[in-house]
Amino acid sequence: MTAGCRAAGRVSFPVQSEVFPYRYVSVESPVVLDEPTDPEEHRARSVRYLGEEIGRRYADAVKPTLPRFVTLAIRPRALAHLRRGQEHVTSRHPPRAADLTDTAGVC
């Protein structure tokens, strides 16, 4: 995590789909966990999101740089999203736990 994010104690990031129907969500949240990335957790997440073969190859390729990675856990309080042709919609209510199956990420 950058020094600025660490000092602020917050992170924000967008996630978008460039395939129709276009979707976009922006997440901003306080950081509730900031720790070195565990190699086995990193491999498991890589496989989860990239599939078995590509996930393993990716995890192996970045393993030498893993000491510079940190894992963040966040607790979003608001989500802003955009759906086809709609204006931004912001939810100020905490997302349901069922919607947040994996709120930890690697920087």
What pLDDT, in 10s, does the model give residues 33-66?
778 899 999 999 999 999 999 999 999 999 999 9
Give the structural domain span for 95: 3-106
The number of domains in the chain is 1
Helix axes 39-50, 52-62, angle to 10 degrees: 140
Q: Which residues contact 73 (CB under 8 A, 6 or more apart)?
A: 31, 32, 33, 103, 104
Nearest-angstrom CA–CA distance, 13 and 105: 11
Nearest-angstrom CA–CA distance, 26 and 94: 14
Higher local confidence (pLDDT), 2 or 72: 72
Q: How confident is the model at residue 24 (pLDDT cuts 50, 70, 90)?
A: confident
What pLDDT, in 10s, does the model give residues 81-101?
666 555 555 555 555 544 444
Answering whether pTM is above 0.85, one says no
Predicted local distance difference test score (pLDDT) of residue 85: 57
Q: Taking a C-beta distance cutoff of 8 angstroms, is the pair 80, 39 a contact?
A: no
Q: Taking a C-beta distance cutoff of 8 angstroms, is the pair 39, 66 a contact?
A: yes
